[in-house]
Amino acid sequence: MNILGIGCHPDDLEIGCGGTLAKYAKQGHKVFMCHVANGDLGHKIFMPEELAKIRAKESEAAAKVLGAESICVDVGDSQVESSVKATRDKLVNVVRDTKADLIITHNPDDYMRDHMQTSELAYDASFCNTLPHLFTEAAETDTFAPLFYMDTLAGVGFIPTEYVDITDEIEQKLEALACHESQIKWMLEHDHIDFLDFVRTCSKYRGLQSSCEYAEGFRQYAGWPRFRTYRLLP
């Protein structure tokens, strides 16, 4: 299968589903990691233009660790809006170009607007992908890809309906997350948050819920015609 993760910021997919994406890659699936925003406002010292370049390099490195390909839609932080046709069409093109068989994205009710708007964009793009008279560089497909929502930050307000055992991938997940040094180092030095430990703890918590050491939790979008008669998560 072709697996497409659509996150908002450059490190969001590593946090929410990095272990699952690594597991897909190990099983021989083609994995793509698309972030809609370029992360240009995520620092107090680096200016936006410089930070966007830094975070693009970090994303490439993290994707390589997970066995994935990195894609950036390149919208500025705080400017992610599902109502903007140009942004939606860029994401439609990503869905078409990757020939996505399954999409993982943010929960619709997440802790910040950029994340919620990205979730809506992923939903819209996965539907508009099939419209023959909506023209993008890549041609339309006839696939309504199943859509899965990944965990919220710290799991707040999120009750998974499916789990993926990432015990064998937890160190790989954290190695990929550590590639985002502009964020990890800043939070540790200036905000006194050990974000790698934070994410490990959340994965441990989901593991306790699902009878394994480490896990990631998901919910599947329940609308027609997104279901399949076989398990899609690894």
pLDDT tens by residue, 119-151: 999 999 999 999 999 999 999 999 899 999 999
The structural domains of the chain, with segments of one domain joined by +, span 2-220
User: Are residues 105 and 122 in contact, defined by beta-carbon separation less than 8 angstroms?
Assistant: yes
What's the pLDDT tens digit per position in 2-18? 999 999 999 999 999 99
* Portion of the chain with pLDDT greater than 70, in percent: 100
pLDDT for 149-194, tens place per residue? 999 999 999 999 999 999 999 999 999 999 999 999 988 988 899 9
What architecture (CATH level 2) is domain 2-220? 3-Layer(aba) Sandwich (3.40)
The predicted model scores a pTM of: 0.96
SS (H, E, C) the chain: CEEEEEECCCCHHHHHHHHHHHHHHHCCCEEEEEEEECCCCCCCCCCHHHHHHHHHHHHHHHHHHHCCEEEEEEECCCCCCCCCHHHHHHHHHHHHHHCCCEEEECCCCCCCHHHHHHHHHHHHHHHHCCCCCCCCCCCCCCCCCCEEEECCHHHCCCCCCEEEECCCCHHHHHHHHHCCHHHHHHHHHHCCCCHHHHHHHHHHHHHHHCCCCCEEEEEECCCCCCCCCCCCCC
pLDDT surpassing 90 at residue 20:
yes
Span 63-82, mean pLDDT?
97
Q: What is the mean pLDDT of the chain?
A: 96
Condensed to tens digits (0 to 9), the pLDDT of residues 189-225 reads 888 999 999 999 999 999 999 999 999 999 999 999 9
pLDDT of residue 191: 83
User: Judging by beta carbons within 10 Å of its beta carbon (0-12, 13-18, 19+), is residue 189 exposed, middle or buried?
Assistant: exposed
